[in-house]
């Protein structure tokens, strides 16, 4: 049965958070927002695709979605997805909008929303959750949804297909994760402006809720504050809990070198975004100097090309691609295949509050045999999703609703 895209609209959805929620050293007043691409079909189902922003400018992302998505109008979704890599590249290389990136910033956020809407509509048209749709594809069909341009030197098309084929035989051994669920970590323990007392309370509450991993914001003009609070959380939760510290790009390289060595005694699971996200070589220098402390990055990397550079340079250990920042599900899978090749785990940043990524980590685990690490858990927008992710005892339960869990209440 064919599903034809007969109308494309956008929605500028902005939400008010509770005081302190989502605040870090640089994003002092976030208004969590989605630029939504809606692909209305002739069969009543609507593909919903998200890009994440902090409020102002969300309308500009919507404007670019309107402009870039036009080639999809009137197209049948199976036909679109049979060669989505080509369509993705065509939209990414729009002869005028490309100048405004290329492949970064507002124009690439728009592409993320469009790409996500296509995958959502595809899953809905087949009546399956996104993770099931992806697992049902052959390696060739999966790779046909990817734009592998500029990856010729590192992940040629045939090698991408082989990576998937090689893991196919053992796939059944890994489907147990569907029953067990995927382990989450609590990212909302230590927002930047929370008091020490709030953070201690949140850390205990996270333990009670079943989480064995949690994140603290430590980026600050005064690094001592972050060091002190990391020690406080370590003392609160004990030695067996994983603590991630997140600097939100606030350290210079010299400061990062000094502070990371100080943090070592608190045994952080990773140090996240230690400095500017475009500074591949600073991350490389840091990774070499602070071993065995590990670096997580990717929240602000705009596209697969920068991930390629980070990975080639040995500048990251945890790959935090975000499907609502880079070019959607398609480019997320491209980065996943590259990470697989290099033996690095994907631990998504979840601008989508984990809604889409809960599907994607299941695919990565089962189809790509990637290490099962953790999925960020952040509940601040729960009530706005039609099918909010269910996290019980610190574990994401496998979503059963059709699509990518991206539908927002009207």
Q: Which residues are catalytic?
A: 217, 349
- Residue 180 interacts with its own copies (CB under 8 A): yes or no: no
Q: Closer CB to its own copies, residue 278 or residue 401?
A: 278
- Residue 28 interacts with its own copies (CB under 8 A): yes or no: yes
Q: Closer CB to its own copies, residue 63 or residue 390?
A: 63
**Torsion 205-384-321-276 (CA) sign:** negative
**Torsion 106-107-111-114 (CA) sign:** positive
Options 45, 81, 104, 189; binder of its own copies; rule CB under 8 A: 104
Options 20, 26, 136, 400; binder of its own copies; rule CB under 8 A: 26
Query: What mask, x for binding its own copies by CB under 8 A, covers residues 116 to 155?
Result: ---------------------------------xx-xx--
- Residue 158 interacts with its own copies (CB under 8 A): yes or no: no
- Residue 70 interacts with its own copies (CB under 8 A): yes or no: no
Please report how close the Cβ of residue 23 comes to its own copies at its closest, in angstroms.
Answer: 9
354 Cβ partners below 8 Å, 6+ apart?
A: 184, 375, 376, 377, 378, 389, 396
Distance CA 7, CA 41 (A): 7
- Residue 14 interacts with its own copies (CB under 8 A): yes or no: no
Do 278 and 304 meet the contact criterion of CB atoms below 8 Å apart? no
Please report how close the Cβ of residue 154 comes to its own copies at its closest, in angstroms.
Answer: 8
Distance CA 328, CA 59 (A): 18
What are the C-alpha distances in Å from 186 to residues 52, 338, 401? 19, 27, 24
- Residue 55 interacts with its own copies (CB under 8 A): yes or no: yes
Do 293 and 243 meet the contact criterion of CB atoms below 8 Å apart? no
Given 3-state DSSP classes, what are the helix, strand and coil percentages for the chain, each rounded to the nearest 5?
45, 15, 40
Options 281, 288, 289, 393; binder of its own copies; rule CB under 8 A: 281
- Residue 157 interacts with its own copies (CB under 8 A): yes or no: no
- Residue 288 interacts with its own copies (CB under 8 A): yes or no: no
Would strands 270-272 and 242-246 be described as parallel, antiparallel, or unpaired? parallel
Count CA atoms closer than 13 A to 240's CA, side-chain side: 3
- Residue 27 interacts with its own copies (CB under 8 A): yes or no: yes
Contacts with its own copies: how many residues (CB under 8 A)? 59
Distance CA 273, CA 161 (A): 31
- Residue 308 interacts with its own copies (CB under 8 A): yes or no: yes
Please report how close the Cβ of residue 122 comes to its own copies at its closest, in angstroms.
Answer: 28
Q: Closer CB to its own copies, residue 249 or residue 364?
A: 249
Task: Restricting to residues 77-96, name those near its own copies by CB under 8 A.
Answer: 93, 95-96
Options 5, 38, 64, 402; binder of its own copies; rule CB under 8 A: 64
Give the distance from CA 51 to its chain's centroid. 11
3-state secondary structure of 6: strand
**Torsion 262-266-271-276 (CA) sign:** negative
Distance CA 47, CA 41 (A): 8
- Residue 222 interacts with its own copies (CB under 8 A): yes or no: no
The residues of the shown chain that bind its own copies, judged by CB under 8 A, are 26-31, 53-57, 60-61, 63-64, 67, 93, 95-109, 149-150, 152-153, 249, 252-255, 275-282, 285, 300, 302-303, 305-306, 308-309, 312-313
């Amino acid at each position: 049965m064919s599903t034809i895209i007969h109308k494309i609209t956008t929605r500028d959805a902005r939400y008010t958070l509770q005081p302190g929620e989502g605040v870090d050293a640089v994003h002092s007043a976030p208004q969590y927002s989605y630029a939504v691409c809606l692909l209305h079909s002739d069969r009543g189902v609507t593909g919903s695709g998200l890009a994440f922003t902090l409020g102002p400018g969300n309308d500009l992302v919507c404007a670019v979605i309107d402009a870039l998505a036009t080639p999809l109008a009137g197209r049948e979704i199976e036909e679109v997805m049979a060669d989505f890599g080509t369509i993705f590249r065509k939209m990414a290389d729009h002869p005028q909008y490309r100048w405004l990136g290329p492949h970064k910033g507002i124009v690439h956020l728009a592409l993320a929303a469009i790409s996500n809407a296509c995958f959502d509509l595809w899953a809905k048209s087949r009546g399956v959750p996104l993770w099931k749709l992806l697992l049902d594809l052959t390696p060739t069909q999966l790779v046909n949804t990817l734009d592998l341009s500029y990856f010729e030197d590192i992940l040629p098309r045939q090698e991408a297909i082989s990576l998937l084929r090689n893991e196919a035989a053992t796939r059944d051994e890994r489907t147990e994760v569907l029953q067990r669920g995927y382990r989450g970590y609590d990212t909302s323990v230590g927002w930047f402006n929370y008091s020490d007392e709030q953070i201690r309370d949140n850390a205990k509450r996270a333990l009670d809720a079943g989480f064995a991993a949690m994140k603290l914001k430590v980026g600050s003009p005064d690094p001592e504050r972050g060091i002190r609070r990391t020690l406080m959380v370590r003392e609160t939760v004990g030695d067996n809990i994983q603590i991630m510290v997140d600097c939100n790009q606030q350290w210079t390289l010299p400061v990062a070198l000094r502070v990371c060595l100080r943090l070592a005694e608190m045994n952080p699971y990773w140090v996240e975004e230690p400095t500017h996200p475009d500074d591949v070589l600073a991350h490389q220098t840091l990774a070499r100097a602070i071993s065995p402390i590990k670096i997580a990055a990717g929240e602000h990397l705009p596209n697969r090309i920068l991930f390629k550079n980070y990975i080639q340079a040995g500048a990251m250990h945890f790959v935090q691609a975000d499907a609502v920042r880079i070019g959607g599900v398609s480019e997320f899978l491209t980065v996943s295949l590259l990470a697989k090749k290099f033996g690095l785990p994907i631990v998504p940043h979840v601008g989508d509050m984990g809604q889409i990524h809960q599907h994607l980590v299941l695919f990565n685990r089962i189809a790509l045999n990637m290490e099962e690490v953790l999925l960020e858990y952040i509940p601040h927008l729960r009530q706005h999703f039609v099918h909010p992710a269910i996290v019980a005892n610190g574990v994401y339960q496998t979503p059963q609703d059709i699509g990518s869990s991206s539908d927002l209440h009207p």
